[in-house]
Amino acid sequence: MTAAGTPGADRAFAVEALPKVSRTFALCIRLLPPDLEHAVRIAYLLCRIADTIEDSIGLDAEDKRRCLGAFGETVADPAGPSDPVDTSFLRTAFAGAPGDEPLLAREADRVLREFRRLTDVEREAIAPWVVEMCDGMAAFSRDPAREDELPTLETVADLDRYCYYVAGTVGHLLTGLFGLEIADPERTGRLEAFATSFGLGLQLTNIIKDAAADHRRGWSFIPRQLCRDAGVDPSALFGPEHRDAARRVFGRLIAKARGHLADALSYSTLLPRRQYRIRLFCLTSLFFAVRTLRQASEGSRLVAGGTVKIARTDVYRTLAMTCAIAPSNGLVRAYYRALGGPTFATAAK
């Protein structure tokens, strides 16, 4: 049996934890080259721990800011894997909380030790962006909802800032890790120009598909500004009498996400063809988002408060098609148009 705290045990924990907190990402990450896969896995779990702190309904805003600040400092610490890792603040904050995400937070020391076992250049590509994510999340920390209000973002600019902190940073983090494999600074610089937008496109898609579930648990990331323009209060967005207003709100959000996904397409087609597995990883995430947005824009399921989720058969169909077309930019653009329908056609230049 491998002793807890050893490289083998910490790595095994990370491998086992990922599909428990994100089955889709666990599926996509297997497309990457093995060494890059491990670095991306650890980076994702660090980001997921920060996200778990931000999402916790058991912590007030001050506790969230304290935990996010302490976690960011621990990630930035240049200590080595044999040095002690103090994550007692997370064990205390999530003591007794059920679920896989709280368990990941309580066991954050295992992920941090594995992070410290990465190469120096890998850690340098990851740490600044995780720290920026933690700082940004702390700025947006909110107390759990009271019965008489629905906490939400105020403006579209607030939404853009929030999405940057939680996902734009991830776009840059991944680009830094990809750059180590690509070994072409000029091309990596061109990828950086689209990195924020790629992250925002995926995050906006998640916000749209999870909007009803977030609303039910007492949160909303739909800006009050958009609801006000449509003549509806955020707390009443999913009321049956406000379906037309909800369509206007989500129509604007879907159009915004589509614009970012067009940049994600540009990003993906900039990746060298020889980096087949990195292209697979990026294109699969992009195509899943395109499928999700199309489903969200068609029919009434979203505005009625239903779940927007692509079918398992479509997941595997998308994976198979992506494997076949990934080397060809022409086929990639054609598949993007086919998945998205007419509203995506103008984006696939």
SS3 172: helix
Both tokens of 236, joined, read 């009443």
As for how many domains the chain has, the answer is 2
Q: Are residues 121 and 238 in the same domain?
A: no
Q: How far apart are CA 222 and CA 255, in angstroms?
A: 14
Query: CATH code at 39?
Result: 1.10.600.10
Q: Are residues 109 and 254 in the same domain?
A: no
Q: Are residues 155 and 275 in the same domain?
A: yes
Q: Tokens 């734009």 belong to which residue? A: 168
Range with lowest mean pLDDT among 24-28, 50-54, 198-202, 280-284: 24-28
Helices assigned H by DSSP within the chain: 7-21, 23-29, 34-55, 61-76, 88-93, 100-106, 108-116, 120-139, 156-163, 169-182, 185-209, 211-216, 224-230, 243-270, 276-297, 312-325, 329-340, 342-345
Write down the pLDDT at residue 150. Answer: 66
Write down the pLDDT at residue 80. Answer: 84
Write down the pLDDT at residue 308. Answer: 84
Contact between residue 337 and residue 345 where contact means Cβ atoms under 8 Å apart = yes
Q: Are residues 131 and 180 in the same domain?
A: no
pLDDT in tens, 75-122: 999 888 888 899 999 999 999 899 999 999 999 999 999 999 999 999
Q: Are residues 117 and 166 in the same domain?
A: no
Q: Are residues 123 and 244 in the same domain?
A: no
Give me the mean pLDDT over the 327-344 stretch. 92
Domain around 264: 145-349
Q: How far apart are CA 140 and CA 144, in angstroms?
A: 12
Q: Are residues 1 and 33 in the same domain?
A: yes
Write down the pLDDT at residue 349. Answer: 41
Give me the mean pLDDT over the 216-242 stretch. 90
* Residue finishing a domain among 143, 177, 210: 143
* Residue finishing a domain among 143, 177, 204: 143
Contact between residue 268 and residue 282 where contact means Cβ atoms under 8 Å apart = yes
| 208 pLDDT more than 80 | yes
Both tokens of 190, joined, read 């061109």
* Residue finishing a domain among 102, 123, 143: 143
Give the predicted TM-score (pTM) of the model: 0.91
Q: Are residues 157 and 135 in the same domain?
A: no
Q: Are residues 197 and 127 in the same domain?
A: no
- To 5 degrees, how large is the angle CA 39–CA 170–CA 164? 170
